[in-house]
Amino acid sequence: MKIESTVNAVRNQVKEWRKSGLTVGFVPTMGYLHEGHASLIQAARENNDKVVVSIFVNPMQFGPTEDLASYPRDLEKDSALCASLGADLIFHPEPEEMYHEGFSSYVDMDVLTQELCGLSRPVHFRGVCTVVCKLFHIVAPDRAYFGQKDAQQLAVIRHMADDLNMDIEIVGCPIVREEDGLAKSSRNTYLSEDERRAALILSKSIFLGKELVEKGETSTEKIVDAMKERIASEPLARIDYVKAVDGRTMQQIQTVQKPMLVAIAVYIGSTRLIDNFIWE
Ligand code: AMP
């Protein structure tokens, strides 16, 4: 497995593979990899001749008061995991390689980014769309793999690929959870022991919401209220949002429908965590 830090090196390698008629699967990440990332790499491994993983903590998708500086990083451990999963290439650029001086072109999106994390993190999806678009141009994959854990991001990327005629299949992969239910996240590492216990309130409220839908509840207000009440029972938790939205447009809905996304963002102490379920 190779580790490259320049755009040109990745381009040259992918061109060589293409000349031999090989297909390329791509997994974009910010590193500090866990089993959630591993599931994407495995899915890419199963369906492509070559697998590229990018590890890049993208400054453009962090707001000024967010955790860019403290975001966890461990290239050595990440490389070992990627190699063990059979990845062929890691792209690990420095920010200067991705954003040269005078950089001023952006990919932005309306509608889908107006709710949920787009509301709480105003610059986030512009940063995500811009970097993913750049990475797609650099890696030129046949397929790209994203987790349902970041459900709005997955919807936004699908929409961007469609709007901008990107000839790349976007593959969504299910949420990988800890044994006790907490969705795996690089940010879980910020949690103290007490906070780790308190963080279970996210998956508990997600499972509660899902159960209500399965039992036939049709009012999204009732579902959201029940979930909020459950989260409020945890003193260390502070709700950012709990919302039910149309699974395609990400706009709020009053009545349960398919596809529906029920998504939450909750602060546990100062750590903001997200979780969701899809009804389709
Ligand atoms: P990140 O490194 O957090 O930017 O995530 C990179 C990719 O891994 C994104 O497509 C995420 O949705 C996906 N991912 C992160 N956590 C999980 C998880 N627990 N289950 C499945 N996919 C995940």
pLDDT tens sequence across 12-56: 999 999 999 999 999 999 999 999 999 999 999 999 999 999 999
* Ligand 1 centroid distance, CA of 19 (Å): 31
- Please state the rounded mean pLDDT for residues 125-150: 98
* Ligand 1 site, residue 37, Cβ cutoff 6 A: yes
Q: String of b and e for 44-68 (b: at least 16 CB within 10 Å)? A: bbeebebbbbbbbbbebbbeeeeee
Compute, in angstroms, the gap from residue 150 CA to the centroid of ligand 1: 7
Look at residue 124 in the predicted model and tell me its pLDDT.
97
Q: Rounded to whole angstroms, how far apart are CA atoms 50 and 33?
A: 19
Measured in whole angstroms, the distance separating CA 97 from the mean position of its chain's CA atoms is 22
- What is the model's pLDDT at position 163? 98
**Which residue's alpha carbon is nearest to atom 15 within ligand 1?**
36
Q: Which residue, 140, 39, 56, is CA-closest to 90?
A: 56
Mean pLDDT of the chain: 98
30 lines ligand 1 (CB under 6 A): yes
**Ligand 1 pocket check for 39: Cβ under 6 Å:** yes
147 lines ligand 1 (CB under 6 A): yes
Nearest to 112 by CA among 149, 158, 148: 158
Ligand 1 in reach of 127 Cβ (< 6 A): no
The 10s digit of each residue's pLDDT in 235-261 is 999 999 999 999 999 999 999 999 999
Three-class SS of residue 265? strand
Lookup result for tokens 């459950």: 230
Q: Which of 136, 150, 173 to mutate to test the pocket of ligand 1 (most atoms within 8 A of CB)?
A: 150
Percent of the chain with pLDDT over 90: 100
The pLDDT, as a whole number, for residue 45 is 98
Catalytic positions are 37
SS3 letters for 117-158? HHHHCCCHHHHHHHHHHHHHHHHCCCEEEEEHHHHHHHHHHH
Task: Output the pLDDT for position 43.
Answer: 98
- pLDDT-based confidence at 132, cuts 50/70/90? very high
Residues 76-81, mean pLDDT to the nearest whole number: 98
Ligand 1 pocket, 184 CB below 6 A? yes
Q: Which atom of ligand 1 is nearest to the CA of 184?
A: 19
